[in-house]
Amino acid sequence: MSEFTQLNPAERILMGPGPSTVPARVLKALGSPTMGHLDPDYIEIMDECCGMLRRVFRTTNALTFPVSATGMAGMEAIASNLVERGDEVIVCINGVFGGRMKDIMERCGATVHTVEAEWGDVISGEALGEALESHPKSRLVTIVHAETSTGVHQPLEEVSRMVHDAGMLLVVDAVTSLGGHPVNVDDWEIDAIFSGTQKCLSCPPGLSPVSFSERALEVMDARQSKVQSWYFDVSMLRDYYSGSGARAYHHTAPINMVYGLREGLAMVLEEGLEERFERHRVVHERLRGGLEELGISYIPESSLHTLNCVRIPDGVEDGPVRSRLLREYSIEIGAGLGPFAGKAWRIGLMGHAATRRNVDLLLAALGEVME
């Protein structure tokens, strides 16, 4: 008899900041037979997956592919390839993930100039304009489209115009927006963008979709030094993901994760992007109305539909409420980070979890627990 019991994880209703619920269709795809990463049949599946990513990113960028690691790896891959030691860059910070980009840029040897806003606020055009004027030699500007730590939804059209007028590249974190909010890479002239599979694409964590514009590729081709990361060196990865004929071996791709992503993207496109965005908007409004009836208010004025950051009411304790929701209702919601720790909850409505049923269940459970 085996000394090991059968693996039997609890089924949760995932309404935190990620991961989100993975549908059975994606889980089934993950269990498909594994092929070699250079098998022509697998290359065909991978190419189809990359083509689907272009449609979801709304881009024609040839170099659009899933980095073989979670969302933070997409951030690091972009920084490692676009930045050389001594470069100046501008990093916008209004939450945890802008701060992480600053850290990564500094580790790549960049001199970082920051544009900061209070947690819960968007980055203003005025503040960005001052930074662009003060640091005209900067190579690029980074900004978070969907700040997961605060629920802020950052408009990008004006940012893009300002950045490109200054002759710089625009780098965007779309981890919590891709597949739940419009992300228009070509129309907004985004030069490098990354996301994660575990949010609105409703796949398990493990891949980070990225896309690079022609301008970004020109910067990479003109590098004077080797990319500091061998694993994330796009000059080699592009020969595997966007080559023709025989593909150059770089690393063993996560075959079954790509199966899952391919199936998740198929579900996104079958639903239709506009229809999917509208579904996220509708359930967000339903949640917002129900929370306000419970005396719970939103922190950001410009709130994401996919990540709802709300104030914990006076007299209500954070930990016990989240613990009871998990223990008694199998519902997961997220705690606040940084200055919001103990003061906020982060409620995710992403992908497969963005349903009226989940909203109504959470509202009923919260009302019961807070009593």
pLDDT of residue 49: 97
Distance CA 17, CA 306 (A): 9
pLDDT at 1: 57
C-alpha dihedral, 217 to 165 to 55 to 307, nearest 10°: 110
Side-chain-side CA neighbours of 128 within 13 Å: the count stands at 26
Contact 114, 89 (CB under 8 A): no
What pLDDT is recorded for position 244?
62
The residue to which tokens 């600053």 are assigned: 102
Instruction: Dig out the tokens for 312 from the structure.
Output: 């914990």
What sign for the dihedral angle of Cα 278, 282, 284, 288?
A: positive
pLDDT at 260: 98
Length of the chain counted residue by residue = 371
Q: CA-to-CA distance for 121 and 254, rounded, in angstroms?
A: 38
Q: May I ask the CATH architecture of the domain 13-18+273-370? A: Alpha-Beta Complex (3.90)
User: Which tokens is 32 given?
Assistant: 């498909």
The secondary structure of residue 207, as a DSSP letter, is -
- Tracing tokens 């410009």 back to the chain, one arrives at 302
Q: Which of 312, 324, 319, 326 is closest to 369 using CA atoms?
A: 324
DSSP code, position 7:
P
pTM of the model as a whole: 0.96
**Phi, psi of 139, deg, nearest 5:** -80, -40
DSSP 62: S
CA dist list (Å): 34 to 53, 66, 258, 260: 22, 18, 11, 12
Domain boundaries, the chain: 13-18+273-370, 24-269
Beta-bridge partner residues of 211:
64, 193
pLDDT of residue 3: 84
Q: Do residues 89 and 140 make contact, with C-beta atoms less than 8 angstroms apart?
A: yes
pLDDT at site 263: 98
pLDDT score for 355: 98
Residues in contact with 165: Cβ distance below 8 Å, sequence separation at least 6, in sequence order: none
Give residue-wise pLDDT tens across range 204-222.
999 999 999 999 999 999 9
pLDDT given at position 245: 63
Q: Rounded to whole angstroms, what are the CA distances from 146 to 165, 170, 215, 322?
A: 23, 15, 24, 23
Eight-state DSSP code of residue 94: S
> Which residue ranges of the chain lie beneath pLDDT 50?
none
Angle (CA) 320-175-249 rounded to 5° is 125
Give the C-alpha separation, 194 to 70, whole Å: 10
The CATH number of 24-269 is 3.40.640.10
Give the pLDDT of residue 243.
64
pLDDT tens per residue across span 46-91? 999 999 999 999 999 999 999 999 989 999 999 999 999 999 999 9
DSSP state at residue 221: H
Classify the C-alpha dihedral 163-145-110-213 as positive or negative.
negative
Residue 244: partners with Cβ closer than 8 Å, 6 or more residues away: none
